Structure 1
Amino acid sequence: MGCKALRRARKHLGRRGVVLLILGVGKISWGASFLVDPPEPVGLQLLTQACGLRHWAWLWIACGAVTAGSAFARIGRDRVGFIAALVPPTVWAVAYLAAVVTGSYSRGLWVAIWYLTSHVGVIMWAASVPEYSVPKPRGQRDEAA
């Protein structure tokens, strides 16, 4: 019975919804880690000048909640989830790039590239994939013909 419920949920969410749910839960978890055990703010001086990392954690959590919640939106109405998913890693990438420019964190260039590729790039790619464009699996195509 559990597998049937999972299949039904997977069908309801669709491919884009599953991605949004995974991204949302990940962002919420990352934000929560800043609340539970905040790391040293190395390279994040641009952010910590405005407020502490505990406050910035709420950006991750709020955007993660919007992203996860958008997973349940109808196809075509999930755009806000992808936009929310882009905000925290983009903010972090800008902060790390600023740290490189000011000379306060030379490793920030590589961290910024990591955020821009493995986060921003993947989110933008996932947002561009239409839900309905993938051909049916081989067995289902043969049955339809």
Structure 2
Amino acid sequence: MRCRAARRLRKRLGRRGAFLAILGVGKTCWGVSFLVDPPEDHGLQLLTQFCGLRHWSWLWIVCGLATLGCAFVRIGRDWAGYLAAFIPPTVWAIAYTHAAISGYYSRGIFVALWYLTSHVGVIWWASTVPEYSVPPPPRTPRRGKAA
């Protein structure tokens, strides 16, 4: 029974939906971690001058839940999930770039590049991958009876 439910969920999500579901859960958890126990604001002074990291955690949580929700919509209409997944790491990359340029956080450029490549770049790439781009595996020939 559980296997059948898992197969139905996998079929419903597809490749793009599974990716969005993983991103959504991850971004939501990341946001909750900022809400529960906010770290020091090293490199995030551009953001914390407006409000604290607990408030900024809601950006991750809301975008993560939107991304997770879009995992279940039809292919072609999931663009909002990719956009929602794209926003928080872009904001963080901008903040770290600003911190590096202004001299507040010398490591900021490396953290910004990490967000831009491993988050923004991967999301951008995944948003362009079609659902069925991989051909199905070839069928093995059936063995016939010898004459």
**TM class, shorter-length:** over 0.9
- Shift of the alpha carbon at 1:85? 0.2
- Shift of the alpha carbon at 1:138? 2.5
Bigger mean CA offset, 2-11 vs 21-30: 2-11
The number of aligned residues is: 142
Take 2:137 and 2:48, find their aligned partners in 1: how far apart are those partners? Answer: 49
Aligned pair 1:83/2:83, yes or no? yes
| Residue matched to 1:98 | 98
- Shift of the alpha carbon at 1:132? 2.1
Take 2:119 and 2:83, find their aligned partners in 1: how far apart are those partners? Answer: 12
Map Cα deviations across residues 76-116 of structure 1 (whole Å, 9 max, x no partner): 10000000000000000000000001000000011001100
Take 1:55 and 1:139, find their aligned partners in 2: how far apart are those partners? Answer: 54
More helix by share: 1
What code does the residue aligned with 1:110 have?
A: F
TM-score by length of 1: 0.95
Take 1:42 and 1:4, find their aligned partners in 2: how far apart are those partners? Answer: 47
What pairs up with 1:59-70 in 2 under 5 angstroms? Answer: 59-70=59-70
Bigger mean CA offset, 128-137 vs 92-101: 128-137
Ranges of 4+ aligned residues in structure 1 off by more than 3 Å: none
Identity %: 68
Aligned pair 1:138/2:143, yes or no? no
| Residue matched to 2:25 | 25
TM-score by length of 2: 0.93
* 1:133 partner SS: coil
What code does the residue aligned with 1:88 have?
A: P
Structure 1 alignment gaps of length 5 or more: none
What code does the residue aligned with 1:24 have?
A: G
Map Cα deviations across residues 48-87 of structure 1 (whole Å, 9 max, x no partner): 0010000000000000010000000001100000000000
What code does the residue aligned with 1:27 have?
A: K
What pairs up with 1:2-13 in 2 under 5 angstroms? Answer: 2-13=2-13
Aligned pair 1:115/2:124, yes or no? no
Take 1:4 and 1:111, find their aligned partners in 2: how far apart are those partners? Answer: 42
Map Cα deviations across residues 8-31 of structure 1 (whole Å, 9 max, x no partner): 100010000000000000000000
* 2:139 partner SS: helix
